[in-house]
Each structure stands twice: as structure tokens, then as C-alpha cells.
């Protein structure tokens, strides 16, 4: 896990780099899902669908996601 506190919107190029790192980590660790948490909604190009099971959520969306996620 890595945490950074960006005060301004995250540049798209940086988000894409983080997504590449997450995808590699998922592959190495055998993870089914990864979550990138942001302070505000990130507007990304349509090719984001190439990143598989990586969710990009705001803090509020993460809270809601975790409240409704079932673990088993």
C-alpha cells in the first residue's frame, strides 16, 4: 500500500502510471481487485477499461463500497 496526499487534482499521466503499478502488483500477488482512492473524482480516457479489476474511488465512494461489500 502507498499513500500520497495530493492537494490538487492528480495529473492523468500520474494516474495511468499508478494503474500500471497496481496491475503489476495484482499479477504478482494474485489479487482479484485493487482500489485507487482519490480525494475527488478523476476524469480518465475511455481506455481505463483496459485496467481490469482496478476501481478508482473517492473517499466517500470507498466508504460506501466497504459498507456494502460482503467478505467471504
- Confidence (pLDDT) at 2: 65
pTM for the complete prediction? 0.74
The more confidently predicted of residues 30 and 48 is: 30
- Cα–Cα distance, 56 to 72 (Å, whole number): 22
Is pLDDT above 90 for 6? no
Residue 32: phi, psi to the nearest 5?
A: -90, -20
Amino acid at each position: 500500500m502507498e499513500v500520497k496526499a495530493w492537494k490538487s487534482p492528480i495529473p492523468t499521466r500520474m494516474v495511468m502510471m499508478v494503474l500500471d503499478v497496481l496491475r503489476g502488483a495484482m499479477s504478482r500477488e494474485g489479487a482479484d481487485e485493487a482500489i485507487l482512492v482519490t480525494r475527488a473524482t478523476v476524469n480518465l480516457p475511455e481506455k481505463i477499461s483496459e485496467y481490469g479489476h482496478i476501481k478508482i474511488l473517492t473517499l466517500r465512494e470507498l466508504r460506501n463500497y466497504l459498507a456494502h461489500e460482503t467478505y467471504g
